[in-house]
Amino acid sequence: MNSRFRITRWHVMGWIFLATLLFFAVAPMVWMLITSFKSQFAALKYPPELIPQNPNLEQYERLLSPKNDVGRQFLRYMLNSIWVSTATTVFGVAVAVPAAYAFARFRFPGRKALFFSVLFRNMFPAVVFLMPLFIMMRWMGLVNTYTSLIITYLTFGLPLSIWLLKGFYDNIPVELEQAARIDGCTRFQAFYMVVMPLSAPGIIATAIYSFITAWNEYVYALTFLNDDEKLTLPVGLQRFFAEYATNWPGLMAASFIMSVPVVVMFLILQKYFVRALTEGAVKA
Amino acid sequence: MAQVDFVNVDKSYGSFRAVKDVSFTVGDGEFVALVGPSGCGKTTTLNLIAGLLDLTGGEIRVSGKVINDLDPKDRDIAMVFQNYALYPNKTVAQNLGFPLRMRKVAKAEIKDKVEEAARLLDITHLLDRYPRELSGGQQQRVALGRALVRDPQVFLMDEPLSNLDAKLRVQMRAELKRFHQDLNATVIYVTHDQLEAMTMADKMAVMSGGVLQQYDAPERVFEEPANLFVASFVGSPAMNLLPATRVERDGTVFATGEGWELTLSDRNGAAARRSETDAIILGARHSSLALHETETSGAIPARIYTVEPTGDLTYAHVEVGDKTFVISVPPDRRIAADQPVWIGFDQNKLHLFDAKTEQRIAQD
Ligand SMILES: Nc1ncnc2c1ncn2[C@@H]1O[C@H](COP(=O)(O)OP(=O)(O)OP(=O)(O)O)[C@@H](O)[C@H]1O
Ligand SMILES: [Mg+2]
């Protein structure tokens, strides 16, 4: 057989498919970026300029400088978002890792409920729980606190995180821990020194997933938080620009800044996912 | 090195009793093979010694000290796992050094000991590789090395050769035996390959259904199996077993079955008399039976079912009533399927079992 690469109809179809996908994923991002460099006036021009005539960083300077009101507020929202997302991630991982390990290694009553809770959570749109949760939060006096958001994100995110991580632990042979314990580890050391490093891709993927989910969440943040001071980025942005009406470049610049962490993390995530999938947690 | 005592050891998983009242002693420096069919409790027994499982009852002592409640790390025992259980994210050198590192041994000393173990096992050139970059045989050596570096009181090995190909298995078998002699180590070795047990062990512990069936030197287990299970499990091909009825006429004891009768020698007759009931079982290894092509006195009629030449020996599968015997004959013997034959017994090598208790009946 000729080993030279031959382009078949299937290849072409694959490429067309990928190109379409890429177009719909990337084009809005590109447009957002282009618009953010335009002046407010140029952004309204029709037909639109594909390449801005006088590109400038004015919007970015304004948003990222604490010296003016707009910047101060934007940075405030960003800090709020970072705080809520980070807390959700840290608590989430701190709970998910031991829980997933327990689900994978130990037998106890109620163990089967995990899969059900994952399914249950994903059966309904998140909004369905909005009112009941709001009433609960008010009853507990948690409305207008970050705690309410963090608790909500955790209850929504944890089942899936635990489920994902459990898959990793299921794939790590028990014998590795047994060997470690015979080699001089306590149960905890065996977990910490042998199992944990092997599940690192899973832990990182889970962490990033929790972070992105919390970072992007809009509906609950909108309902649970009242004070302008406390808003997270998605909600803040929306209010923010309602006030400044038609500043498209400003909106685009803010949106772009907001999506940077998501994109960066997604790139890391996919690298770990691919690694976790191709190498497997452990090669026996 | 140390002596290991099992005293009435019991282990249940929930309501399932996996190890039932097992008692035996592994002497200092002895190589004991734990054999038995799949699921008989071998790994469970090993894990009990290692401390990976808690006993439900009884005691395990190492050098006279009860270790029931010690953590695995405090037992000074090393284990080689069936799947090797090498740490995938550590190099060979790090794998070998790990037990020492956990015991806070100085860096320089770890390095020396790792190099020494590597030299002993001929894996020095592999020290910087990761387990996934090694062949099965090489991984096996590393697993052995990780057990060796520490100079533990007892070595536990759970089917360490079962993942190797036949040729490598024979080679590693010899190496393991040699290594045991050189180190004079106490080894408890799990295998379901009874040939491995026969060739390597000082003593053999045969288990079935969680019960220790026999604990003795391999040749004794082979020559005097304690019961029907051991008789049929040890030896390849398995011992031929023939149910019979004990009949006594004029002071002579016969074993009879459908269409045959065998006069038992005085010694075997006396033994047969000790059976609780008339039902006895005759046992004979393939090599102790003779195949006659004509009717012979003292031989029982049978029919060739099939003939299996293996090179050195030819195995004739022979039908006796509804039982099939395997009898070895020289390869140049001309026999064919469906041929009527007569099986002659060597009464000095005949085994007798009580069909009711399934225990061996001693002959003397
Ligand atoms: N964690 C467990 N829970 C319940 N039953 C178990 C557990 N581990 C083992 N068993 C049962 O205990 C019995 C003995 O198991 P064990 O692993 O000791 O067998 P083994 O002799 O090592 O078999 P093999 O030759 O297949 O490795 C088996 O019937 C098994 O099903
Ligand atoms: Mg086993």
Q: Is residue A19 scored above 80 in pLDDT?
A: yes
| Spatial distance between the Cα atoms of B142 and B119, rounded to a whole number of angstroms | 11
- Cα separation, B153 vs A76, in Å, equals 64
SS3 A197: helix
Query: B113-132: per-residue pLDDT in tens?
Result: 999 999 988 899 999 999 99
Which residues sit opposite B31 in a β-bridge?
B187
Q: Which domains does chain B have, with CATH numbers?
A: 4-233 (3.40.50.300), 240-354 (2.40.50.140)
Mean pLDDT of B9-13: 96
Q: Find the mean pLDDT for residues B160-175.
A: 86
User: At residue A114, does pLDDT exceed 80?
Assistant: no
Give the model's pLDDT for residue A281.
41
- Residue A282's pLDDT is 45
User: What was the pLDDT predicted at B92?
Assistant: 96
Domains and CATH numbers, chain A: 58-279 (1.10.3720.10)
Nearest to B88 among A181, A185, A282 (CB): A282
Q: Binning pLDDT at 50, 70 and 90, where does residue A277 land?
A: low
Q: Are strands B4-13 and B16-26 parallel, antiparallel or unpaired?
A: antiparallel
pLDDT tier, A38 (very low <50, low <70, confident <90, very high otherwise): confident
Question: How high is the pLDDT of residue A283?
Answer: 42
First vs last Cα of chain A: how many Å apart? Answer: 35
Question: Phi and psi at residue A241, in whole multiples of 5°?
Answer: -90, -15
Distance CA(A82)–CA(A64), nearest Å, equals 15
> What b/e readout covers B201-223, taking b as 16+ CB neighbours within 10 angstroms?
bebbbbbbebbbbbbbebeebbe
CB B166: neighbour CB atoms within 10 A? Answer: 6
Smallest CA-to-CA distance from B22 within B14, B30, B36 is with: B36
Alpha carbons within 13 A on the beta-carbon side of B143:
31
Tell whether the model's pLDDT for residue B102 goes beyond 90.
Answer: yes
Band of pLDDT at residue A275, cut at 50, 70 and 90: low
Average pLDDT value for chain A: 86
Work out the pLDDT band at A109, boundaries 50, 70, 90: confident
Is A269 or A92 the better-scoring residue by pLDDT?
Answer: A92
- pLDDT band at residue B195 under the 50/70/90 scheme: confident
Cis peptide leading into A47, omega within 30 of 0? yes
Tell me the chain A residues in contact with residue B71 when contact means C-beta distances shorter than 8 Å.
181, 186
pLDDT tens digit string along B31-68? 999 999 999 999 999 999 999 999 999 999 999 999 99
What does pLDDT average to over chain B?
93
Q: Tell whether A245 lies on the interface with B, counting CB pairs under 8 A.
A: no
| pLDDT tens sequence across B217-275 | 999 999 999 999 999 999 889 999 999 999 999 989 999 998 899 999 999 999 999 99
**What span, in angstroms and rounded, lies between the C-alpha atoms of B279 and A19?**
82
Q: What is the ipTM of this complex?
A: 0.84
For residue B315, give both structure tokens.
């195995």
The per-residue pLDDT for range A142-184, each reduced to its tens digit, is 999 999 999 999 988 888 888 888 888 998 999 999 999 999 9
The CA dihedral of B284, B287, B289, B292, to the nearest 10 degrees, is 160
Structure confidence at residue A121 (pLDDT): 75
| Residue A207 DSSP SS3 | helix
DSSP string, B250-264: TTEEEEEETTEEEEP
Nearest 5°: phi and psi at B91? -70, 170
Interface mutation target, options B16, B43, B73, B74, chain A, most CBs of A under 10 Å: B73
Other residues' Cβ atoms within 10 Å of the Cβ of residue B160: 27
If you average pLDDT over each of A162-166, B110-114, B297-301, which comes out highest? B110-114
Q: What percentage of chain B carries pLDDT values higher than 70?
A: 100
Q: What is the reported pLDDT for B207? A: 95
Rg (CA), chain B: 25
**How is residue B48 written in tokens?**
């009990």
User: What is the pLDDT averaged over residues B319-339?
Assistant: 91
**Cα–Cα separations (whole angstroms), residue B58 to B15, B61, B359:** 17, 10, 26
- Residue keyed to tokens 């309410």: A148
pLDDT digits (tens, 9 = 90+) for A182-223: 999 999 999 999 999 888 888 988 898 899 999 999 999 999
To test the contact with chain B by mutation, choose from A172, A174, A182 the residue with the greatest count of B C-beta atoms within 10 A, namely A182
Range scoring the smallest mean pLDDT among A155-164, A225-234, A275-284, B234-243: A275-284
Measure the CA–CA gap between A144 and A100, rounded to whole angstroms: 31
> Cβ A181–B77 below 8 Å, yes or no?
no
Q: Does A19 touch chain B (CB under 8 A)?
A: no
- With a CB cutoff of 8 Å and minimum separation 6, the contacts of B319 are B302, B303, B304, B305, B325
- Is the model's pLDDT at A3 over the cut of 60? no
Q: Identity (one letter) of the amino acid at B325?
A: F
SS3 A282: coil
Residue A110 half-sphere exposure toward CB, CA atoms < 13 A: 3
**Residue B94 scores a pLDDT above 90:** yes
Residue nearest to ligand 1 atom 18, measured at CA: B41
Confidence of residue A123 (pLDDT cuts 50, 70, 90): confident
- For residue A282, the chain B residues in CB contact (below 8 A) are 88
Tell me what the mean pLDDT of segment A86-109 comes to: 92
Contact A283 B102 (CB under 8 A): no
How far apart CA A74 and CA A71 sit, in angstroms, is 5
Mean pLDDT of B179-194: 89
